Structure 1
Amino acid sequence: NWGHKQTDLRYVEDYRPHTKNQQLRILLHGPAGTGKSSFINSVQSVLLGRMYAHALADTTSGDSFTTKIQKGNPETFYPFVFSDIMGLEPTKGVLVSDVILAMKGHVKDGYGFDLESKLSEHDGFYNRSPNLNDQVHVLVCVVSADTVAYTSDEVLQKIRDIRKEASDLGIPQVALITKVDQACPEVNIDLKNIYKSKYMKEKMEQFSVNVGIPMNCIFPVKSYHEEIDLDDDMDSLILSTMRHIINLGDDCINIKSHSDQQEF
């Protein structure tokens, strides 16, 4: 809904989990270079109301890290956090087994992923007793519109394997299609063409078929990377996506909280 930026902005700003001190954890994964860090920076920019270009950790280095989203006061943060990990690669990259451990909350922040062997229970970065804040509540697969058609079968299989495990864990999943302006001339001219473009629809449908994520859980976005001022249309796409992510994550938190109470 173009022109409804303020409504979605207020929704994201006002979000509070029902449980006190609960955080909604969003795990980003996908091929390297698809714009995971740019999306996190863009969310921060929109919520601050000014351009934000903090140098996030280089996830190609293999370190995992968590990003808190700052409110107007540097000492206060939103109740949702982003966990980012190194990219998936056909033969290298992060191991699927380590992504699964991260979803379960076993990977501590700052862990340097080993490309040969998964995180061991004896490693200092292994969290033996993860709580609900450590666990992932939404899994977000990030792919680039200009390269999604060339994603290797090996990487697609890794995405499917991660998705299956997330489903078994009760974690909802969405996909972000980034760099839409670089892939489609119509969108580059006017971002409002993004849901009118046959090219973009074909890319979304192709990715949906390849990995099994339904179309209504695939969101095309344009992140800030060269702009110096905020743009209402870009903000609208980012905020609409965040609203859906928050709703899915909040449902996951409530279901897991209820399940934990029943077990107790």
Structure 2
Amino acid sequence: MSLLCFRTWEHFSCVAVYEGSDRSRFHQKYLNLYSEDERRSHGFETTWGMNSLTSKLTEEQRKQLCDLLGNVELSLLYKASVHGYQASAFHQRCDRQGPTLIVAYNRSGYIFGGYTSVEYARSGQYITDKEAFLFSFQGKIPVRIKINSGHHARLDDAGVPSFGQQLYFCYNNQPVVNNSGSNAFSVNTATMYGNDTQLTECEVYKVEKSVIRKGSQVSTEEKPWRNVLWTAEQRDKLMEMIRNYKPLVTSVSCFRILMIGPVGAGKSSFFNSINSIFMSRITSKAMSGSAATSLTTQFRTYPVKDGREGKLLPFVLCDTMGLEEQSGAGLDIEDISSIFQGHVPDRYKFNPTTPFQPDEQKSSRPASLQEKIHCVVYVIDATKISLMSDKLQEKLASIRRKVNSLSIPQIVLMTKVDEACPLVEKDLQNTYASSYIKTKVQEVSSRLGVPVSCVLPVKNYSQELELELNCDVLLLTALQQMLNFADDYLDDADHVENKPK
């Protein structure tokens, strides 16, 4: 006698079937009720022996989620269409299973969910979990939404799975997701799930660290896709190289590097971070922070000193008003052209409705190489690359066309890598070991039309009170590359200017 394990939409049953024609008739009667695609799409599996659930995730989606979580394996514990949408069914299969990932699907095709590193136990306690996050696939990439500071990740009760007492899955034991309006997570329901609250499926996965077995392929953590020395000696070497860097062109005393990017991407924070490294303490000279509109309203040129009483370093970081997608808001493209040409003075206050108008005397003569911009840096938030609107992307494309026409070198500074990837959040040395960060680098390269080699991931200082070695190495490596590119531009521009006519 054999045991046939038979899973349907509503229940799981085990039926004893005798060898021979009886088994064939049973198999024919029940298995042919549904097509193979129907069975798989609803988690319906028929096997001789042990039963297994079928994940609704594609292999690529599973890989992206594993990359987001950092070198893990996912095991399907619960499937609402099979086990039911009741809280009791969820807890029966998911309690005491360690870290878990919820993946929900709705009628509009959105895939979204949440992760908690603390297991479900129906303890009745509020759970603090700094690693908890929500996510939503934006195109092919899952975008992470971190929990806001000072909030509990969830209430560990006997109810349906929820996050921050805000987002409830299988709400009221129904195929529904509900947003209570709390602010534990900064959720945009239109972006996250298209405001479609009706679920077609809800799955829960056990999250386990991948085990690297002897003789198996080396994990991405052991094979970084870029090589960086994370040592104090390397930091000191980079600082010394930057101190001693001199433009090849004698008429230029320092490199002028222009920072351009959307509101809140981290332009001003990058200057503050570089300034902090050379001042050997956290500084906040440039206004930075989080706001809906740009905190920077003036064109600022920030020199950096080598210590409090030290000499000026051979570069100036130029900060601009943030880009916004609406017309008549944020930095105007005409203003950017004037900045490139060296016509805009320090502390000029931008007016989004009226482009900069240089005075006649200055506009009548071309700016010197010393006054022009020598390298353009696009500052892009790694957590918002997939959310970039078409209008903002077109603005950046227009700027790039202008920069290309002037042959100014361009770099992308991809900020907030720690917020984008939990693996990097745990240890910045994983920046170039994270396949998720590599995916984001490739995505921003494609969106902005710059080579992958010109995209540099960094973490700015934002809430720290002390300097941190790994953060310094990333920031200084990026600055060193900017100086290299600026030097190449000056060398080429000098040859053009001095070319016999």
Same fold by TM-score, threshold 0.5 exceeded?
A: yes
Aligned runs of 1:35-74 on 2, under 5 Å?
Answer: 35-56=266-287, 60-72=295-307, 74=309
TM-score (norm 2): 0.50
Cα deviation per residue 1:130-164 (whole Å; 9 max; x = unaligned)? Answer: 21111000000001111121111111111111112
Whole-angstrom distance in 1 between the partners of 2:309 and 2:398: 38
Contact 2:243 2:314 in 1 (8 A): no
Question: Which has the greater radius of gyration?
Answer: 2
Cross-structure match for 2:261: 30
Contact 2:242 2:314 in 1 (8 A): no
Indicate the larger mover: 71-80 or 246-255: 71-80
Whole-angstrom distance in 2 between the partners of 1:151 and 1:188: 23
Provide the identity percentage. 33
Q: Pick from 187, 191, 195: which aligns with 2:428? A: 191
In the superposition, relative to structure 1, how do residues 47 and 127 fare at CA in structure 2: closer, same or farther (>3 Å)?
Answer: farther
Instruction: Please state how far the C-alpha of 1:129 moved relative to its aligned partner.
Output: 4.0
Contact 2:375 2:410 in 1 (8 A): yes
Contact 1:174 1:245 in 2 (8 A): yes
Aligned runs of 1:92-241 on 2, under 5 Å?
Answer: 92-122=329-359, 129-241=366-478
Whole-angstrom distance in 2 between the partners of 1:112 and 1:245: 26
TM-score (norm 1): 0.93
Cα deviation per residue 1:108-145 (whole Å; 9 max; x = unaligned)? Answer: 11222221232123489979542111100000000111
Indicate the larger mover: 250-259 or 166-175: 250-259
Determine helix, strand or coil for the equivalent of 1:254: helix
Instruction: Please state how far the C-alpha of 1:73 moved relative to its aligned partner.
Output: 5.0
Contact 1:68 1:78 in 2 (8 A): yes
In the superposition, relative to structure 1, how do residues 127 and 214 fare at CA in structure 2: closer, same or farther (>3 Å)?
Answer: farther
Instruction: Please state how far the C-alpha of 1:60 moved relative to its aligned partner.
Output: 3.2
Larger proportion of helix: 1
Per chain length, whose mean CA-contact separation is higher, i.e. which structure has more relative contact order (CA < 8 Å, sep 6+)? 1
Partner AA of 2:260 in structure 1: H
Cα deviation per residue 1:78-114 (whole Å; 9 max; x = unaligned)? Answer: 1210111101101121111211211111211122222
- In structure 1, runs of 5+ residues without a counterpart are none
Instruction: Please state how far the C-alpha of 1:62 moved relative to its aligned partner.
Output: 2.3
Indicate the larger mover: 67-76 or 133-142: 67-76
Whole-angstrom distance in 2 between the partners of 1:144 and 1:254: 31
Whole-angstrom distance in 2 between the partners of 1:263 and 1:49: 47
Partner AA of 1:11 in structure 2: M
- In structure 2, runs of 5+ residues without a counterpart are 1-227
Aligned-residue CA RMSD (Å): 2.1
Indicate the larger mover: 172-181 or 121-130: 121-130
Whole-angstrom distance in 2 between the partners of 1:198 and 1:125: 49
Whole-angstrom distance in 2 between the partners of 1:211 and 1:42: 25
Larger proportion of strand: 2
Cross-structure match for 2:245: 15
Partner AA of 2:325 in structure 1: P
Determine helix, strand or coil for the equivalent of 1:99: helix
Determine helix, strand or coil for the equivalent of 1:241: helix
Determine helix, strand or coil for the equivalent of 1:143: strand
In the superposition, relative to structure 1, how do residues 21 and 167 fare at CA in structure 2: closer, same or farther (>3 Å)?
Answer: closer
Q: Pick from 53, 76, 80: which aligns with 2:311? A: 76
Indicate the larger mover: 135-144 or 226-235: 226-235
Contact 1:179 1:222 in 2 (8 A): yes
Cα deviation per residue 1:174-212 (whole Å; 9 max; x = unaligned)? Answer: 001111111111110011111121221121111111110
In the superposition, relative to structure 1, how do residues 225 and 93 fare at CA in structure 2: closer, same or farther (>3 Å)?
Answer: same
Whole-angstrom distance in 1 between the partners of 2:323 and 2:362: 21
